[in-house]
Amino acid sequence: MMFDQLLKQNEEMLKSMQSMMNLDAFEKAMKPMTDLLELQRSMLESLAEEQTQLSTEMMADALEEARAVCQCESMPELMEVHKKFLQKYQEKMAELAKKQASSWTQVSEETLNLVKKNTEEMAKSFKK
């Protein structure tokens, strides 16, 4: 219900913006929004790629560990194999978290810049 209301408000806002400006000015005003959506889409794609690659690597590591465990002849040896596997896992997860945090920071900064630029452009177009 609230979502419908929000959509209606957005539509009305767009209509009033369209009537205030000509089509060219309207498209110019909407460009930052489309840029922002494109930015978010490409970031989500790269995050998905990174996660897929990590999943594949983890499967390979798990198989490698299973093979090594089968060749173990003592409990301490088995524990050592498992410890190495867990260390590798933690390093990969930390690396992914670091990559994703920097991606989010970059997108946040670019979003702020787009919003700022858009606000300035719109202010100019309404002053005319």
Per residue in 75-114, pLDDT tens? 999 999 999 999 999 999 898 888 888 888 887 888 788 7
For 72, 103, 113, the CA distances from 91, given in Å and listed in that order, are 24, 18, 33
Looking at per-residue pLDDT, the higher value among 21 and 6 belongs to: 6
Residues of the domain holding 20: 2-127
In the three-class reduction of DSSP (H, G, I as helix; E, B as strand; rest coil), residue 22 is classed as coil
Q: What is the pTM of this model?
A: 0.54
Strands (E), 14-65: none
pLDDT band at 31 (very low <50, low <70, confident <90, very high): confident
∠ Cα 62 68 71 (to 5°): 145
Would you say residue 29 has pLDDT above 80? no
Per-residue pLDDT for 127 more than 90?
no
- Please report the pLDDT score of residue 17 as a whole number: 67
Position with higher pLDDT, 49 vs 18: 49
pLDDT at 76: 93
Domain count, the chain: 1
Q: Cβ(11)–Cβ(97) under 8 Å?
A: no
The predicted structure's pLDDT at residue 56: 92
pLDDT in the model for residue 33: 75
